[in-house]
Homo-oligomer: A and B are copies of this chain.
Amino acid sequence: MTRPVRPTMRDVAARAGVSQALVSLVFRNAPGASPATRERVFRTAEEIGYRPNLAAQVLRRHRSRHIGVLFTMRQPFDVDLVEAIYPGAQQRGYHVVLGALGPGRDERHAVEELLAYRCEAMILLGPATTAAELAVAAERVPIVAIGWRSSGEGVDVVRAADERGARLAVEHLAGLGHRDILHVDGGDRTGSQHRRRGYERAMRRNGLGDFVRVLGGDHTEESGAAAVRRLMGEKVLPTAIFTSNDRCAHGVLDTLIRTGSAVPGDVAVVGFDDSGVAQLSFIDLTTVRQDVAGMAEAALDAIVERLEQGRTGTRRIVLDPSLVIRSTTAAPKPSR
């Protein structure tokens, strides 16, 4: 069991015939080394396969330049966000450390782990943690919650204007002539409460207060499927269904089609997020698009402001969603 001892800066220095400090200089791209030396150091390092020891760097620099990102692998929207965060972080000179949430890995645990890695800041996607718990973590490092509303101090929030998004959906449907528009909500999931409220208000504002109807759900396909199955017991289906996210819409859509309802002929469907599933050619879901790239940028900017510009006040950034009209919506059948 030979431990593969990796070359250190000292080894590079010895081989290149310079001091170890100079090697450090060169690797940090700091000024103060002649081009010739620079070249030689790099070549020597290459030759012996040297790679900087991040642990030593972090220890010495008192900075890790790591940003922790907590997310749920199963949520396509979270994945979209993570993919947008990666390049943005790199641009700003930070590394991303992923913390996956899931069965058996709760938020507390994951936050602790990211803290142990010496993350300088954390981005939380759709966190379920209470404000109080977050505040504790926020004392240690800047925290940005995406898609989450906090009244807690110290936690920056980036989110979509969920209510406006829901209004876009309702007005689109109402504009097509729909009146019996049902909402499958997202329970206590990210943004759900405000999407539901936005739905209710928009319905009333459009004179459809009598048609307001909400079925309980969450942000999974199964909850959408279950909602439609519950509906099947009734004589008439609503002419349109607006769901709290795309995964739920997927369940609604597929279950409708499999039970013989045409979409959008019999029932129109609108989702929320515009995650990958909505964009599949055979799903082609009309949905409320959240500005993923904008959210990622805003979150990173919020972190940089705190880390490098000394901001201390809490920020709340709200981004406007937009409606993406695809093929799951059309005017209701004239017969109704």
Contacts and interface: CB of A to CB of B under 8 A. Distances in A.
Given A3-B62, A55-B64, A64-B55, A283 B310 contact: no
A113 B310 CA distance: 29
Nearest to A63: B3
A86 B64 contact: no
A99 B281 CA distance: 29
B55 A59 contact: yes
A117 interface: yes
A170 interface: no
Contacts of A86: 100, 102, 104-105
B118 A54 contact: yes
A222 interface: yes
B118 A225 contact: no
A140 interface: yes
Interface stretch (A21-29, A198-206, A209-217, A252-260): A252-260
Nearest to A221: B280
Interface string A278-293: 0011110000000000
B62 A59 contact: no
Given A79-B73, A225-B280, A51 B254 contact: no
Contacts of A98: 98-100
B87 A113 contact: no
A132 to B, nearest CB: 16
A69 B203 CA distance: 47
A113 B55 CA distance: 13
A86 B105 CA distance: 9
A117 B54 contact: yes
Interface string A36-80: 000000000000000111111011001010000000011000010
A280 B258 CA distance: 13
B118 A55 contact: yes
Given A73-B79, A74-B79, A276-B74, A225 B102 contact: no
Given A98-B100, A221-B282, A59 B51 contact: no
A95 B115 CA distance: 14
A251 B95 CA distance: 35
Q: Determine which residue in A116, A222, A225 has the highest number of CB atoms from chain B within 10 A of its CB, and name it.
A: A116
Interface string A103-126: 111000000010111100000000
Contacts of A6: 140
Contact of A281 (B3, B58, B115, B225): B225
A334 interface: no
Most buried by B among A98, A276, A281, A282: A282
A102 B40 CA distance: 35
Contact of A55 (B58, B105, B283, B310): B58
Nearest first, the 10 closest Cβ-Cβ pairs linking A and B are A1-B310, A98-B98, A55-B58, A55-B59, A73-B79, A55-B55, A254-B282, A225-B282, A255-B282, A54-B116
17 contacts: A4-B140, A51-B115, A55-B55, A55-B64, A55-B118, A56-B59, A73-B79, A73-B82, A74-B79, A74-B276, A83-B104, A86-B100, A87-B104, A97-B97, A221-B280, A222-B280, A251-B282
